[in-house]
Amino acid sequence: MWIDTKRHIVTDTDGNLVHAVVHLADVQDRDGAPLVLAEIIRRHPWLRHIFAVGGYAGDKLRQALRKIGKWTGEIIKRSDHAKGFKVLPRRWVVERTFAWLGRNRRHAKDFEQTIASATAWLFIASIQLFARRIARA
């Protein structure tokens, strides 16, 4: 039996994984974001600006960010007037990273029985991406 998980990932502007937090799927996005951002400020204190999708919008996240550090952020949302498919600025970077990680066979389905295992395999998939890029260069 495996558990249903949710991943919060932080990437650089090229889509490279900077950090990730995996937790149970019943945690809302706004509640999970401070978990990953608290680690980011600890590991990379020079980072100050974030782009986030609409699921992270709201006062709850803003208040949590104020407690963690001095952040500026942009919420990337689809326009209420948009019709059809529209590429959203910066959203594609994270979606592309999820696609790259999803190409790893282990991420095709949620096979993991623990959060620690799911987290480890997420970072292993990221390491494989970096190793392939280095080997091509």
Q: Which of 94, 124, 131 is nearest to 106 (CA)?
A: 124
Q: Are 22 and 7 in contact (CB under 8 A)?
A: yes
pLDDT surpassing 70 at residue 2: no
Backbone φ, ψ for residue 121 (5° rounding): -70, -30
- Rounded average pLDDT over 131-137: 87
User: What CA dihedral angle connects 6, 10, 16 and 21, to 10 degrees?
Assistant: -40
pLDDT single digits (tens) 105-127:
666 666 778 888 888 888 888 88
pLDDT surpassing 80 at residue 69: no
pLDDT single digits (tens) 87-100:
777 777 877 887 88
CATH number of 5-136: 3.30.420
CB atoms within 10 A of CB 51: 17
